[in-house]
Amino acid sequence: MSTFQELGLNDDLLHAITDLGFTKPSEVQEKAIPILLESETDLVALAQTGTGKTAAFGFPMLEKIDVDSRTTQGLILSPTRELCLQITNEMKQYGKYCKGLNVVAIYGGSSITDQAREVKRGAQIIVATPGRMKDMISRRLVDISKIQYSVLDEADEMLNMGFKEDITDILSHTPDDKNTWLFSATMPREVATIAKKFMHNPQEITVGNKNESTSTVSHEYYLVNARDRYQALKRLSDANPDIFSVVFCRTKRDTQKVAEQLIEDGYSAGALHGDLSQNQRDLVMTSFRKKQIQMLVATDVAARGIDVDDITHVINYQLPDEIETYTHRSGRTGRAGKTGVSMVIVSKSEVRKIKSIERIIKRQFEKKDIPDGMEICEVQLMSLANKIHNTEVNHEIDKYLTSINELFEDSTKDELIKKFFSVEFTRFYNYYNKSKNLNIAEGSFDRGDRREGGRDFGGSKNSTRYFINVGGKDGFDWMKLKDFLKEQLQLGRDDVFKVEVKDSFSFFNTENELKEKVLAFFTDFKHEGRFVNVEVSENRGGGGRRDGKRGGGRRDDRRGNSGNKSERRRSGDFKSNSDRSRRSESNSKSSGSHMSRPRRSRR
């Protein structure tokens, strides 16, 4: 293991490194810095975020540029505004003793004129997001014709986000003989193509294996019924009282919904997704950084560039579509040498994805059980006990001690402790006492897994089964129909289940609370020019609607005219329905509010 001196960095940089408290180079720094200092070369580095890669390209760039010149010599492209600001900040810290250095950040959502003015003052290094950079080039507000070093940071993310054309365009304004250093956590084909197109015989370094997850992260999965996902999330949080986590959802809507539910249930949570304004996102991120928020519920896109080092857990509330996205998610924890846990809540239909992820990240998942209520009570109790044990005494209390002592004159120490702890413990106990076991066995039957061809599709006491006059002939399979219904009805991922698609008609279920909403929505609803008719299926077993006549609903002029019509007319407005359904989705909410005080008191 080398030291920073041995890597060949100059005194100004070494001085800053001492100030920052970095004692030894990280693996990527040890591998990249000597190569970049010693030669004028292109470089492809496979490294996750959190491995110290900013310094791996930052130190050599700072060492090589001429701070006495006002010409822009280094360009760093990064996928998001957050990352762009983070890199700028780090570069400024690394170069704080390099007299005359000017590092400027260029990113969307902020005044372009202010940024242009900063550049004009003479920026040796520009850190930019591709969209804004392209904009500034086309308006001739920056000149990158003389840059000598370009960095493509988180190249895979930039390509994922559709910046390929912008990057190509930006690089076409740079000299051919510059050096390009590409950093990426994963190496999908698109990144390899970019490397081939823009780089000349790049040297390659790899930290860990390609696409491999960092060794500081352990991976766990929890198998539950799809409908218990949210309860499982709450338990995972309650079982880890000091959790500081990012909870990933697939859609903006689910992200908002889960965050709202958590907040309602008394957790310190916040949402981060693209439908929020930049200002709102900044506020959430500031609270998260200050740890005023314990659970940041985020979409993948919005979470890109989260630069928080102490995240203890990443929770995959839903698995991502792309397996590579999992690497990025889990890379948000276990940063800067710390350990972290990446948890996945899966329903039975998704469990096979775990195997695929294991193959790609080359790590094994541990199948774990969602803790039961009493385990959580114990964890919470012991956490409270430790907290009390470590609390500094506030001597303001001294003056009340005599009266308090009088009150407890007859109590033994044990009694006193029991009473004291009961204040908090009883709330948890009442909530979790008799709570059900959320775990399902891998071979058991999950409703989310039922699809065409399956059996036992009937409604249950709590759910309603519907008939709908579209089917396979209309291009639907169970998944497409589920997505269609979810989208039209603005429902969550788990709200539509037991979808069974026949040739010209289909069946599906929702919770009873959604019945009015579903039926009201499909009154006079047209899809691709014809009326879509939804009725409550009389035969809960699902088989009674198989007569071909139902397909009569395929006539273009057919209106919803079932026996349920009057019921549909009576149906209430959407808002009240969806509110009601939301309330019932976690019917623990009222009891969940008991959680709020113990949770908040821990902060």
The answer to whether 560 contacts ligand AMP (rule: CB under 6 A) is no
The one among 42, 45, 49, 244 contacting ligand AMP by CB under 6 A:
49
Give, for 405, the enclosing helix (H) or strand (E).
helix 401-407
Q: Give me the phi and psi of 270, to 5 degrees please.
A: -150, 155
Beta strands in 362-496 (DSSP E): 365-367, 463-468
DSSP string, 335-370: -TT--EEEEEEE-GGGHHHHHHHHHHHT-PEEE-PP
Q: Decide whether 49 or 330 has the Cβ nearer to ligand AMP.
A: 49
Q: Determine the interface stretch with ligand AMP among 19-27, 262-270, 466-474, 558-566 (rule: CB under 6 A).
A: 19-27
By CB under 6 A, residue 50 contacts ligand AMP: yes
Q: How many CB atoms lie within 10 A of CB 89?
A: 15
* Shortest distance in whole angstroms from residue 50 CB to ligand AMP: 5
Angle at CA 162, nearest 5°, toward 489 and 492? 20
* Interface with ligand AMP, residue 22, by CB under 6 A: yes
Residue 194 beta carbon to ligand AMP: minimum distance, rounded to whole angstroms = 21
Tokens 């004291």 map to which residue? 420
Q: Would you state the structure tokens that stand for residue 194, as one six-digit string?
A: 């970019």
Our CB check for ligand AMP shows the closer of 275 and 309 to be: 309
**Residue choice 66, 309, 487, 573 for contact with ligand AMP (CB under 6 A):** 309
Q: Which residues neighbour 58 within 8 Å (Cβ) at sequence distance 6 or greater?
A: 87, 90, 91, 94
Which stretch in 50-58, 211-219, 259-267, 344-352 sits in contact with ligand AMP by CB under 6 A?
A: 50-58
Mark out the alpha helices in 65-111 (DSSP H runs): 81-94
52 binds ligand AMP (CB under 6 A): yes
Q: CA-CA distance, 402 to 413, in Å (whole number)? A: 16
Q: At its nearest, how many Å lie between ligand AMP and the CB of residue 215?
A: 15
What SS3 string covers 302-332? HHCCCCCCCCCEEEECCCCCCHHHHHHHHCC
Binder of ligand AMP out of 283, 336, 374, 388 (CB under 6 A): 336
Number of Cβ within 10 Å of residue 149's Cβ equals 21
**Shortest CB 284 distance to ligand AMP, Å:** 20
By beta-carbon proximity to ligand AMP, the closer residue of 187 and 319 is: 187
Interface pick for ligand AMP out of 13, 26, 305, 325 (rule CB under 6 A):
26
DSSP label of 212: P
Among 31, 53, 273, 550, binds ligand AMP (CB under 6 A): 53
Residue 25 touching ligand AMP (CB under 6 A): yes
Q: Which is nearer to ligand AMP, 25 or 241 (CB)?
A: 25
Residue 54 near ligand AMP by CB under 6 A:
yes
- What are the residues binding ligand AMP (CB under 6 A)? 22, 25-26, 29, 49-55, 309, 335-336
